[in-house]
Amino acid sequence: MSYLDEYDSRRPFFERLVRWIGLALLVGVLGYSVYWLFFRNWREEAEVRHFLEEVQQQKFEAAYKRWGCSVEEPCRYYSYTSFLEDWGPDSPLGKVGSFRLGRSYTQEGGVIIEVWINDKKQPNLWVDSATEVISFFPY
């Protein structure tokens, strides 16, 4: 065995290491991209989905709590009777037979979610990211 036989013996290890690091970075970037595109607003969308399921099942007190209010301590500007006028069975949208969520838009402090109820587009809902309280989007 000569001196030059040992030369460059560590190079295959280095090439494999660089290949694995590059592959790990690629998988990480792809994984984060999938998360960002499909799951970034998952919590807020789940909160709106639970709210609409409660309205659909006519559990209005529980739905009103997701609005950040309660029957015992109603919101200052959105009383329980106003809530029932907007979401109850006698509301303009009627009994919720079906619903689906549309696109969601991340804004500073919360998420805007498009909502279709009984195949009709409804006003967008706003979910505060910190408290997960639902409200109408003001614009």
Average pLDDT over residues 117-136: 91
Whether 26 is covered by a domain: the verdict is yes
Whether 3 is covered by a domain: the verdict is no
**Do 107 and 125 reside in the same domain of the chain?**
yes
pLDDT > 90 fraction of the chain, expressed in percent and rounded: 53
Confirm whether pTM is higher than 0.85.
no
Give the residue numbers spanning the domain of 69.
40-136
Residue type (1 letter), 51: F
**Do 100 and 120 reside in the same domain of the chain?**
yes
Residue 56: what pLDDT? 92
Contact assessment for residue 129 and residue 139, using Cβ atoms and an 8 Å cutoff: no
| CA distances from residue 137 to 52, 61, 105, 112 in whole angstroms, order as listed | 16, 21, 11, 7
**Do 20 and 32 reside in the same domain of the chain?**
yes
**Do 14 and 55 reside in the same domain of the chain?**
no
**Do 32 and 73 reside in the same domain of the chain?**
no
**Do 50 and 97 reside in the same domain of the chain?**
yes
Residue 38: what pLDDT? 84
